[in-house]
Amino acid sequence: MLGIPLKYNVRNLFVRKVTTSLTVAGIALVVMVFLCVMALGEGLTRVFTASGSDRNVLVLRQNSQSELQSGITRDQVPLVETLPGVEKDADGKPLASAELVVVLNLEKREGGSSNVTIRGVEEKGWKLRPGIRLTEGRMFSPGASEVIVSDGVSRRFKDTNVGEELHFGAYRWKVVGHFDAGGTAPDSEIWTDVEGMINTFKRNGYSSVLARTPDRAARDLFVAGLSSDPRLALEGKVERTYYDEQTATAAPIKFLGLFVGVVMAIGACFGAMNTMYAAVSSRTREIATLRALGFSRLSILASFILESVFLSLLGGLLGCVLGVLAVKLALSGVTGTTNFATFSEVVFAFRLTPALLLTGVVFSLAMGFFGGLFPAGRAAFTKITQALRQVG
């Protein structure tokens, strides 16, 4: 089979400048909207998938879905930390941190307010999360009502610069430092000393215990040991699994992206179909000539589908460029939403991955293929004699 050169189609597209550019722009906008919304969902998902370690076990009260709902009494902590499987540090002390989480309602810089997690940690809490580093100021000193705030939270909430003070009636905390956790869950948190926090909030215990295990076998042993102790009524969850389970937070955003993307793609596909029908009908004589020259129906069909696919590919690529520009320029800062599993803010950034861009391109190719199918079919079944007789 002899193929019609692609150049034929490309040149034709450039002859009809107005129609081509209107169609390309339409497809590009659809791809851009799809990419931006999906980048939002991807950024949010990434916080959860990047958080937590496979070797850390988060100990919660049975049936608790999150640390906020959980409670562990003071006398339970030594029992948990001495269970077999917990790693020991150089001094022979268990590598585990009993922590308390409370939710603070803070005012956002952009107006409105949202809940932010404040986490009381033991000193060992740092060793359990090696990705965290101070970016400004210093560490809080125990018992002094001092806090350190993540960069992400300080960018979004008032009164969180180093030297400022967070206060709620009689509750006061001085911000002494900022930290960065490399895009993981602590990037949405404020940290302080756990004992000071228990005093401030007049709690009689902790929310959770985070324990490190040396390997998988030890981890499973520790988790099994926890659940088989009926006195404790606690359960252990691998830290990574705990965060993975919260990715559902991003589901509504991804659903929105897909819904808007698919419906709009069908709309844009109709637009492409229109353009292709016009292309076919204005070239009826040309097509008949090609057929008379010996090109097969299949070549004509393929040629017009290719033309349509090429048209929407232009749109798809332009959409990707617009999407990248939008995410890099307009949406480059951090944003946030509430994770209803922990009832507090997750700070995250838009994230446009190569996989997403590829999805955008595939999306545009599909629009081109379906948009070109019927017009190409009409072109392929042009009656040669009738078409050649046609005037104009």
Q: The tokens of 84 are what?
A: 């077999």
Choice between 289 and 299, CB closer to other proteins: 289
Single out the segment in contact with other proteins by CB under 8 A; choices: 87-95, 166-174, 175-183, 207-215: 166-174
Please give the Cα distance from 294 to 218 (Å, whole number).
74
Classify 63 as helix, strand or coil: coil
Is the separation of the CB atoms in 300 and 378 below 8 Å?
no
Q: Residue 231 interacts with other proteins (CB under 8 A)? A: no
Q: Residue 392 interacts with other proteins (CB under 8 A)? A: yes
How do strand 208-212 and strand 205-206 relate by DSSP bridges?
Answer: unpaired
CB atoms within 10 A of CB 89: 12
Residues 95-134 within binding reach of other proteins (CB under 8 A) = 102-105, 108, 110-115
Please give the Cα distance from 276 to 386 (Å, whole number).
21
Q: What one-letter code names the amino acid at 374?
A: F
Q: The tokens of 231 are what?
A: 């006195």
Residues 6+ apart with CB under 8 A from 324: 352, 357
Shortest separation between residue 214's beta carbon and other proteins, angstroms: 31
Q: Residue 387 interacts with other proteins (CB under 8 A)? A: no
Shortest separation between residue 118's beta carbon and other proteins, angstroms: 9
Q: Tokens 């295990």 belong to which residue?
A: 213
Single out the segment in contact with other proteins by CB under 8 A; choices: 92-100, 138-146, 262-270, 358-366: 262-270
Shortest separation between residue 92's beta carbon and other proteins, angstroms: 33
Q: Residue 14 interacts with other proteins (CB under 8 A)? A: no
Choice between 53 and 275, CB closer to other proteins: 275
Choice between 65 and 161, CB closer to other proteins: 65
Classify 275 as helix, strand or coil: helix
Measured CA to CA in angstroms, residue 387 lies from 257, 307, 384 at distances of 45, 21, 5
Q: Residue 26 interacts with other proteins (CB under 8 A)? A: yes
Please give the Cα distance from 71 to 59 (Å, whole number).
10
Single out the segment in contact with other proteins by CB under 8 A; choices: 89-97, 165-173, 290-298, 355-363: 165-173
Residues 6+ apart with CB under 8 A from 225: 83, 84, 85
Please give the Cα distance from 246 to 65 (Å, whole number).
10
Q: The tokens of 378 are what?
A: 């009409």
Q: Residue 311 interacts with other proteins (CB under 8 A)? A: no
**Concatenated DSSP letters of 298-319:** HHHHHHHHHHHHHHHHHHHHHH
Q: Residue 277 interacts with other proteins (CB under 8 A)? A: yes
Q: Residue 33 interacts with other proteins (CB under 8 A)? A: yes
Classify 203 as helix, strand or coil: coil
Q: Residue 236 interacts with other proteins (CB under 8 A)? A: no
Cα 21 → chain centroid: 32
Can you tell me which of 4, 35, 37, 175 binds other proteins, judged by CB under 8 A? Answer: 37
Single out the segment in contact with other proteins by CB under 8 A; choices: 7-15, 220-228, 301-309, 332-340: 332-340
For helices 251-282 and 297-325, give the axis angle rounded to 10 degrees.
140
Q: Residue 299 interacts with other proteins (CB under 8 A)? A: no
Can you tell me which of 6, 15, 22, 298 binds other proteins, judged by CB under 8 A? Answer: 22
Please give the Cα distance from 61 to 72 (Å, whole number).
7
Single out the segment in contact with other proteins by CB under 8 A; choices: 134-142, 235-243, 270-278, 358-366: 270-278
Strands (E), the chain: 56-61, 72-73, 96-107, 113-121, 133-137, 146-150, 165-168, 171-180, 189-193, 205-206, 208-212, 234-238, 334-339, 344-349
Single out the segment in contact with other proteins by CB under 8 A; choices: 78-86, 126-134, 221-229, 265-273: 265-273
Can you tell me which of 13, 32, 72, 185 binds other proteins, judged by CB under 8 A? Answer: 32
Binding mask 356-385 for other proteins (x = CB under 8 A): ------------------------------
DSSP state of 16: S
How many residues form the binding site for other proteins (CB under 8 A)?
61
Binding site for other proteins (CB under 8 A): 18-19, 22-23, 25-26, 29-30, 32-33, 37, 40, 61-65, 68-69, 102-105, 108, 110-115, 168-171, 201-202, 233, 252, 259-260, 263-264, 266-271, 273-275, 277-278, 282, 335-338, 343, 345, 392
